Chain A
Amino acid sequence: MASITDCVVEGLKYPFNDIKKLLCFGVLFALISVISTFIGFKSMDIFRAAVHINEMTNGTLSQIPFSQLPAGDIYIVAGLTIVGFIISLLIMGYQYDFVKFSIDKKDGLPGFGDIPAKFVSGVKYFIVAMAYNLIPILVLVMGMALVSESTILPLILIISTLLFIIAYFFLIMALNNMIAHDSLKKAFDFSEIIGNISNLGWGKYIGIILFTLIVMMIISVAISFILSFITILFAATVNNQAFVISIVIAIIEGLFIDSYMSVFFNRVCGSIYRESIK
């Protein structure tokens, strides 16, 4: 049985096996970050218009009729959100493949052919993720809507956070189980999921995931330091071009860092499953 460290080290090295494919995968992330930057800018415009109307009419935000908001901006935001969602489905499809390659212990990175199949697996991935997060989201929303007392509200927040964490830990093994058997049903086969986890040992299971998350956190903090240096450099040379700078930084981050992190994390998830069925 390989130790925790071996899994993580293997996962960290794996993306370097085929840098071209990693960068192709990174293009998707770069698109997502550019789109979310645009959405941010446009929603800023909508918000500013709403505030302007509020100041004119002395009303509250909920009283503004929809027709008074800038329609073009809203259409752009809605369109971009849909495009972003489709791209993230594609990303989930690739993540599905990464976990599959990891379970099969293949050294290469998955290729880019057969986009429709990727969409199908992406939809599966999304459904399972949503299903596992449903209970905590329900608790959170119902709690926010029903409870008006301020003393119970923090308690509900804590409970839903705990539920989110528990759901997250189960979700990883559920996704692995689904991908290994290639059937959506297996994602909700709780006895098998719990059996797998206890086969590996709960302590080791939680330990691997926590350790992986800590490593990811450290890397992203370090990278954000470096990126902020780059931002300062850009800002010093290119005057008054905040939009350009943020787009460039978003592309760099999506192309290299987000893709690397995602491949790394999914590789480790796959190797957790591989260890657990031994």
Chain B
Amino acid sequence: MILDIYKDALEYSAKDWKTLVILGVICFFSFLFLPLFLITGYNYRVINTAVHGIINGRDPLPEFDDLIGMFVDGVKVVIVQIGYLLVPFIVFLIFAFISASITGVASSALMIIGCLITFVLVIVACLMNQMGLCHMANHDGAFTKAFAVTEIKEVIDEVGWFNCIATYVGLIIITLVISLVVTAIIYGIFTLFGLSGAILGADLSGIFLLGALINSAIAMFIVGPYLSIFNARSIGLLYTMQL
């Protein structure tokens, strides 16, 4: 089942290279701060399509119309994410304050326990946050549904905690592998260039600079958008597995 999700998501994200380039251009302008929300808004649309679709269905990629609606969706997504991540952050702060006020071995022991609890909470918060976004998308973007913790917990129970965590771990591994492999291929090519250049007696620094530039360009315009659509699609499909 999980493999089906990956297969569908990998094919889905590669459907239209134009979308990837448009997303890449938006990502390039994200230093202007507003485009950041367009990217999250687009990911929300991908989740929305996936939640209302089926695995291996022929869903099209979302369009780039209605930019203002996309921006507002993006703001919602960011608020939900911040809301979930606030919980472990506050717990960490509480532990930090308590351990700062006491001294000796108890202080460091408490800090270690606090860090462990925060770590577990961060994982749970990430899980709940992604499922919360899917739950929100499933209920026509109602804000309260993103924080309806009991309902989301029921959804995760139905999908199965093991399935969820396995999917996430798989996602992280696939993301890392794809980006590493692409970088390795580009650097491999440019090392070959560099070596042949060195044999011919050319200046090496220019070739390395070009390699780094092309690497970051491909990472930004092709691989990054591809992976973000891939992740959003997988999580949306995971949500549909509850039935």
Give chain A's interface residue range (CB within 8 Å of chain B).
10 to 19
Chain B contact surface mostly: helix
Identify which of B33, B68, B75, B142 contacts A214 (C-beta below 8 A): B75
Interface Cβ pair total, 8 Å cutoff = 40
Q: Answer yes or no: A221 CB below 8 A from chain B CBs.
A: yes
**How far is B238's CA from A212's CA once the two chains are assembled, in angstroms?**
32
Give chain B's interface residue range (CB within 8 Å of chain A).
10 to 19
Q: Answer yes or no: B109 CB below 8 A from chain A CBs.
A: no
Q: Answer yes or no: A226 CB below 8 A from chain B CBs.
A: yes
User: Would you call A218 and B68 a contact (CB within 8 A)?
Assistant: no
- Given A9-B72, A13-B68, A215-B72, A3 and B37 touching (CB < 8 A)? no
Q: Which residue of B lies closest to A210 (CB)?
A: B79
User: Would you call B141 and A3 a contact (CB within 8 A)?
Assistant: yes
User: Would you call A221 and B33 a contact (CB within 8 A)?
Assistant: yes
Identify which of A203, A215, A221 contacts B75 (C-beta below 8 A): A215
Chain A contact surface mostly: helix
Contacts of A207 in B (CB 8 A): 143
- Given A3-B140, A4-B143, A222 and B32 touching (CB < 8 A)? yes
CB distance from B214 to the nearest CB of A (A): 27
Q: Which residue of A lies closest to B71 (CB)?
A: A12
Contacts of B8 in A (CB 8 A): none
Q: Which residue of B lies closest to A223 (CB)?
A: B34
User: Would you call A222 and B33 a contact (CB within 8 A)?
Assistant: yes
B positions within 8 Å CB-CB of A: 32-34, 37, 68-69, 71-73, 75-76, 79, 140-144
Closest 10 CB pairs of A and B: A222-B33, A222-B34, A12-B68, A9-B69, A9-B72, A5-B141, A8-B72, A13-B68, A225-B33, A215-B75
